Amino acid sequence: MRAEARHQLKQDRFSRATIHAAEQTVHWTVEHKNKMIIAGLVLAVVIAAVVGGWYYTERQDERASADFGKALQTMDTPVRAAGMPAQPDYPSFVSGKERATEAHKQFQSLVDKYPHTHVADFSRYFLGVSSAALGDNAAAERELKTVAGYRNRDLSALAKLALAGVYRDTNRTKEAVDLYKQIMDKPSHTVSKATAEIELAETYQAAGMTVDAKKQYEQIQKEAPQSEAGQMASAKLQELKQ
């Protein structure tokens, strides 16, 4: 097999493994409260397990994959309880902010060192997620918009979902709604229509648009009453009646 073909095969394997991890993460997102920053951290945990024992054979790609794995491990490192001293054999952070700061630095280094690679693409997504965790919404928006424009549809969808979360958290309801509707119109392997529908309904609810929220929850319930999304919609409708 020619070197170029081998390299492409390895790149494709990396994408498939990482996107598979993303699918599992979005499933978690629907099941719980759909907080995009937390979803990004869970995605890091799952991808770390996938990527941890798998590297490209070329020298530079080995370094890129190893560095990417380290950055993901940073996002997975626990935050110790207040007043608890650091343990030399068990890495931890004082706060979520400290952890996000260190992860952000590592992902930025990956983008700078390995541009135009899959590692850089996924690292830029995590730059957006970690920026949001740090409260830097302008940087989060910039990075996530870039990734949302990628040709990789599955990664793009993840970025749109996270970006919509940033918009929702900064009271830019219309922009969040527009993104959720884009995803609903063209769902991907990583972000299903049901995920976007739930997020849209919660955005309406958070914005005080109760009538729109109710209609959206009812639509979800009607489409798949026995699904996790349908059950969540039922619970939300009960909340709105109270």
Name the region of 135 (left: φ>0; alpha: ψ -120 to 50; beta: rest): left
Q: Identify the pLDDT of residue 40.
A: 52
pLDDT score of 171: 94
Cβ neighbours of residue 108 closer than 8 Å, sequence gap 6 or more: 123, 127
Residue position matching structure tokens 């798998």: 54
CA proximity to 75, closest of 109, 50, 40, 49: 40
Which of 114, 116, 118, 111 is closest to 9 using CA atoms?
118
Q: At what angle do helices 118-133 and 137-148 cross, to 10 degrees?
A: 150
Highest average pLDDT, of 3-7, 16-20, 58-62, 197-201, comes from: 197-201
Q: What is the pLDDT of residue 52?
A: 45
**Rounded to the nearest 10 degrees, what angle do helices 3-31 and 228-241 cross at?**
30
Distance of alpha carbon 168 from alpha carbon 201, whole angstroms: 12
SS3 189: coil
When pLDDT is averaged across residues 168-191 and rounded to a whole number, the result is 94
- Model confidence band, residue 182 (pLDDT cutoffs 50, 70, 90): very high
**Cα separation of 242 and 239, whole Å?**
5
Averaged over 166-174, what is the pLDDT? Answer: 94
Binned at pLDDT 50, 70 and 90, residue 203 comes out as very high
Mean pLDDT of 194-222: 94
For residues 59 and 122, the model is more confident at 122
DSSP-assigned letter for residue 92: -
For the chain, list the domains and their CATH numbers: 3-172 (1.25.40)
Lowest mean pLDDT among 16-20, 59-63, 186-190: 16-20
User: What does the DSSP 8-state code read for residue 81?
Assistant: P
| CB burial string 109-125: b at 16+ within 10 A, e below | ebbeebeebbbbbbbbb
Residue 214 tokens read as 């109710």
Q: Which two tokens stand for residue 41?
A: 């951290």
In this structure, the dihedral spanned by the alpha carbons of residues 155, 161, 166 and 167, taken in order and rounded to 10 degrees, is 130
Question: What is the per-residue pLDDT for 101?
Answer: 95
pLDDT, tens digit, 9 for 90 and up, residues 23-82: 433 333 333 334 444 455 445 544 554 444 444 435 566 788 889 888 888 888 888 988
The pLDDT of 8-32, averaged and rounded, is: 42
pLDDT score of 128: 93
Tokens of 111: 């983008």
Provide, rounded to the nearest whole percent, the portion of the chain with pLDDT above 70.
75
Q: How would residue 204 be classed by pLDDT, with cut points 50, 70 and 90?
A: very high
Q: Which pTM was predicted?
A: 0.76
Q: Given this model, what pLDDT does residue 63 score?
A: 81
In whole angstroms, what is the distance from residue 79 CA to residue 92 CA? Answer: 5
